[in-house]
Chains A and B, each alone.
Chain A
């Protein structure tokens, strides 16, 4: 009998082990091996979605795949990148010009994708620079930054860069009120003298080129986030505001006094009418407009000198304020365009405004006074519903395609799923830890793809192998295809992942540029054949017209360079083959390498300081004879009379 018990015990343990063996390996008992397979993309296969995740204080934009979380590329946007020579080669230096001079860094926050008819279309990604206000456009054919425009009269470009439903505009709002126009006044004179500019940047539908069409000079509140109206509410743009107190010191207390701040509803079609009528002021301003030209493969920077400004006090019907509790952060519009969700980050509940009610309130003038001449709509006449007791510290809401909102809660570290219309909470899942924003592919559009949500966390603590005091930045992936959200994956990101946009990979994959056709290369220093490779002197300037092809430079021996010369290496990659870049670097050059895509020309400058013979080499492992891909430059004293000569294999 005793031994029967023993065998029964063994049997029981075996049964238990068999049932539990799929669940080992996760710290949480809920994380089974089965869940792992749902974010696993087998070797050689592609992810279903692209995710464009802001690089935060790296100033860049990171491209990940979902559901794997794998990082594919970090696109340099607002910060220099020695790896890609961005901001180091002569071609891209103008991209970082501003009215303050060249700036090597910024803080990138909110990527958004171009749309057609309210759906993500895979043409461009836009992202804002928060510190020195700028908006960038990135081609989703080349995955390169093609354009950056600076925004005058703006500071802390946070409420940006959100796209209207036919990409008519990229819209950008200012966080800091600043004197308008800028002048030498006391900070204590904030109220009334400081303004918050909201900028409407048009996008040429063929080329993508920006133009700062107009700015609306709003009261000096802090404009935090924004989203466009869609469908019925297309033509409107909604902005969350805080610090409607117009405090200028200890904002953590002084900007939290009002029971309600505002969501600003701006009728931009009305703005277009006022512009057409000439009801604007042309303000002198200085702001840089930097454009990359794919044909010449060079960027140019132009300083613009004026902007059209609309004053809402003089433009009835242009702006209305929707009272919204306690310093709202997220300002999110559901896929139907009817509801505008304000996430009061200090509020106990989330507010959903109704677009229909808003129009009715405007028509029947259900106003509760005004602020700087801008009508404030009665709270009760615009609110559609409230999500009660959802969590603590709501920040941002995205939507699925089944009528649910998903809101992040920073303080209670969770994502909460709720039902649009009934405002009831359906599910909640913890995040690890202190989540900021979240992203559902197609989230800012009429057509979300409600399969996954990515939560971007502010705190990492113990989630990964530690790396000293500074820990990796972290995102988390949840499956939202079922009733309950399921955490599938933690994955590291670049810089601080403030915000993200995403879309099905099939929207982007077919449009990929594989290389730059040599015949379309109109770079003024391009060298199209090895026979054209040469060296030319113009006073102290020497221009080397160099080519690369597997596996040599032409020329690879150069003599006649002198100390004090300024030597331009204009290097053209003659390859016309996918994924065959060449690199080049020169000993002692006070700049980065070049990394030259097939068919492209790039330039770096070398100012030799010492007599001698100095080598250069290919930095990208291009071929079996990559390590043979090298050359020499002989540098002679300034007084030398050795003439220029160059050769490849003695010819």
Chain B
């Protein structure tokens, strides 16, 4: 009798203590479940500033595969950062040139970090438009990429090449440069 009474009271005491103090922890559960990953600065809406690298890429039909890949790798925020950043942006045709199934494979959730590495290898800290790249080539300097790789810059007549891939167009954005290429950089 004695032990039953004490056990019940002890249990009740514990229940009351836990239950009574849990209100503050419950309020934290109202966070939105809709966002699948944090977008960081990419969630900032700004329709008056000059467009940044991500906004320009999203607006380019020829880069829908690249944009999809950036979203799958969840690295949008890198392309809207203050930079400055130079992105060598492969076109949809460039991705299509890869062996069949490569892109589909890379886009699988389990390959997210590989995909991120492949994409990051297309970005260099700093502002390098074709003129700046030519200067790099003249001085025999390699371009340091965000993965830590050094890529060779070469010229041929008026054309400039990164790792042997020709830069076909260049766009100044608010936070850096987009240099359009028609092959994916693979090491």
Contact = CB atoms under 8 A, between A and B. Distances in A.
Contacts of B83: 550, 623-624
Contacts of B50: 575-577
Interface in B1-56: 2, 5-6, 9-10, 12-14, 16-17, 19-21, 23-24, 27, 46, 48-50, 52
B127 interface: yes
A576 B174 contact: yes
Given A578-B49, A625-B84, A11 B2 contact: no
B112 interface: no
- Closest A-B pairs by Cβ, 6 of them: A18-B20, A14-B13, A577-B174, A550-B84, A7-B9, A576-B50
Interface in A511-564: 514-515, 550-551
A7 B20 contact: no
Given A11-B9, A550-B82, A624-B83, 11 more contacts: A4-B2, A10-B10, A22-B24, A33-B24, A515-B48, A550-B127, A577-B175, A578-B49, A623-B175, A624-B125, A625-B84
Contacts of A580: 82, 174
A15 interface: yes
A572 to B, nearest CB: 15
A625 B126 contact: yes
A33 B49 CA distance: 41
A3 interface: yes
A62 B35 CA distance: 35
A577 B49 contact: yes
Contacts of B127: 550-551
B174 A575 contact: yes
A625 B125 contact: yes
Given A7-B5, A10-B9, A578 B21 contact: no
Interface string A1-41: 00110011011001101110110000000000100010000
Contact of B16 (A15, A515, A551, A575): A15
A37 B27 contact: yes
A622 B174 CA distance: 13
B127 to A, nearest CB: 7
Nearest to B20: A18
Band of interface residues on A: 20 to 34
A578 B10 CA distance: 60
B177 to A, nearest CB: 11
5 contacts: A7-B10, A15-B16, A18-B16, A21-B21, A624-B82
A248 to B, nearest CB: 57
A559 B84 CA distance: 28
Contacts of B175: 550, 577, 623
B16 A14 contact: yes
Contacts of B17: 14, 17-18
B135 A514 contact: no
A36 to B, nearest CB: 10
Interface in B97-151: 125-127, 135
B81 interface: yes
B20 A19 contact: yes
Nearest to B27: A37
Interface of A: 3-4, 7-8, 10-11, 14-15, 17-19, 21-22, 33, 37, 514-515, 550-551, 575-578, 580, 622-625, 649
**Which of A580, A622, A623 has the most chain B CB atoms closer than 10 A to its own CB?**
A623
Contact of A623 (B16, B23, B84): B84
Contacts of B174: 575-577, 580
Contacts of B49: 514-515, 576-578
A576 to B, nearest CB: 4
Nearest to A12: B13
A624 B84 contact: yes
B53 to A, nearest CB: 12
- Most A CB contacts (10 A, CB to CB) among B52, B81, B83 go to B83
Contacts of A14: 12-14, 16-17
Nearest to A551: B84
Contacts of B19: 18
Nearest to B126: A625
Nearest to B13: A14
Nearest to A6: B6
B167 to A, nearest CB: 20
B6 A7 contact: yes
Contacts of A22: 21, 23-24
A515 B24 CA distance: 41
Nearest to A34: B23
Interface in B129-187: 135, 174-176
Contacts of B2: 3-4
A19 B127 CA distance: 61
Contacts of B82: 550, 580, 622-624
Nearest to B132: A649
B2 to A, nearest CB: 6
A514 B48 contact: yes
A3 to B, nearest CB: 6
Contacts of A575: 50, 174
Nearest to A13: B13
Interface centre among B20, B21, B27, B82 (most CB of A within 10 A): B82
B130 to A, nearest CB: 15
A624 B20 contact: no
A577 B10 CA distance: 63
A580 B49 CA distance: 10
B54 to A, nearest CB: 13
A17 B81 CA distance: 49
A276 B175 CA distance: 58
A600 to B, nearest CB: 15
Contacts of A11: 9, 12-13
Nearest to A650: B135
B9 A8 contact: yes
Contacts of B21: 18, 21-22
Contacts of A514: 46, 48-49
Contacts of A577: 49-50, 52, 174-175
B133 to A, nearest CB: 13
A574 to B, nearest CB: 10
B81 A624 contact: yes
Q: Which of A3, A14, A33, A515 has the most CB of B within 10 A?
A: A14
Nearest to B24: A33
Nearest to A14: B13
A609 B104 CA distance: 66
Contacts of A37: 27
A11 B126 CA distance: 67
Contacts of A576: 49-50, 174
A3 B84 contact: no
B5 A4 contact: yes
Nearest to B3: A3
